[in-house]
Structure 1
């Protein structure tokens, strides 16, 4: 029996290259994944009773009650997860490396007898599965975690720079889903000033300077505005213009890349 849709903070984590490992290593990685997650929740001061989890084999879906401040999720929880993964990295071999992608979104979710569903859940999985996010983690060879937030979470939480969260460490990521939809998100990698593999935002192009108005030519060939009383043409009558490119078209491209923000 289904219940009414309720608002949750939605976290999805996914282990890198999980399916390529032998079964014994997969089992060991799953044990380590849950150990790191449980420890991180405790370190971040998040009551375990306010977090519902659903196992996904190579990852975990977590539904966090709206009473939990989102700053704890984007700040202390991410740092604690990264610390736990780095501790494992010091004792694990490269064949047993434990690295993960983590996505944070929010929205309405419905629970039934078999689990959780809702468009917000689907969006969070699209975030964590995005190929550019996978590429970012691969490019960050020394990192253990790549973190992506939806545009809603960035606007509502991250960009306000609460204590422990640095918006400057995030770069925008826009990608198209297999259904043709566009998803706006923001990515950071703990330990990096900017996520590797993502292009830095392009600066807004300066507006083209306005050309001074020209006066209609007089019959004697001199412009009214530039004519001297003696009839000679003054310097003000000579205008040197610079031909600019299609600034409007360029703005459109930049906007499509998601790099311009008010």
Structure 2
């Protein structure tokens, strides 16, 4: 029987990690992961994407979601990000300060190959490198928000700069992301919460991050 080689398909990629969770015990990490999954489900639902339609890959302290074809990349910036931020603020408003969650989020898109239950490609690797970039840690460390969002140059050029769905291009600033073999231009979204903007800088540990 001749083997059939399937070519790559274009998909959007969303990667999210919990910042600083390595200092928590196992129960706290499990609670945070459960909260993260719930927030992501609600954010994707707001974007019109059922959880069952996504291909989810575990990142230890986070998740990688492959979004089905046909979902607008603009929806992954708005309403997805505002809903995620709203759910994050609501959660952090009812838990003890020590258990509040801070998130790093990256949005990218590219050509992917299916390898069993997983998707692989250089674009998947790039999305993971983006979420680990120093600019996201720095934004969280400034203390003005609990959600740091970066989009790839491809997402910026295809969606953000055109202002689709009222997305404000001025709300994104160019940053350089250098992680391991990756050295690329990306765009950091301003997600500052005015109620927290005046608080002191909070260090963000990178030890043990997924």
User: Given the two structures, how large is their TM-score scaled by the length of structure 1?
Assistant: 0.69
Following superposition, the deviation at residue 44 of structure 1 comes to 2.3
Q: Which of 151, 154, 157 matches 1:152?
A: 154
Whether the 8 Å CA contact 2:11–2:111 is kept in 1: the answer is: yes
Following superposition, the deviation at residue 49 of structure 1 comes to 4.0
Deviations 1:10-61 (A, max 9, x none): 1100001111211110010011000111111112222334321112120000
Whether the 8 Å CA contact 2:144–2:193 is kept in 1: the answer is: no
Structure 2: runs of 5 or more not aligned: 198-210
1:124 aligns with 2:137: no
Structure 2 match to 1:177: 179
Structure 2 match to 1:187: 188
Whole-angstrom distance in 2 between the partners of 1:188 and 1:177? 19
Number of equivalenced pairs: 192
User: Given the two structures, how large is their TM-score scaled by the length of structure 2?
Assistant: 0.85
Following superposition, the deviation at residue 175 of structure 1 comes to 2.8
Whole-angstrom distance in 1 between the partners of 2:37 and 2:178? 31
Whole-angstrom distance in 1 between the partners of 2:16 and 2:144? 19
Q: Which of 95, 100, 112 matches 2:98?
A: 95
Structure 1 match to 2:89: 86
Whether the 8 Å CA contact 1:108–1:118 is kept in 2: the answer is: yes
RMSD, aligned CA: 1.9
Higher-Rg structure is 1
Structure 2 match to 1:163: 165
Structure 1: runs of 5 or more not aligned: 197-262
Structure 2 match to 1:111: 114
Structure 2 match to 1:71: 74
Which structure exhibits the higher relative contact order, with contacts defined as CA atoms closer than 8 Å and separated by 6 or more residues? Answer: 2
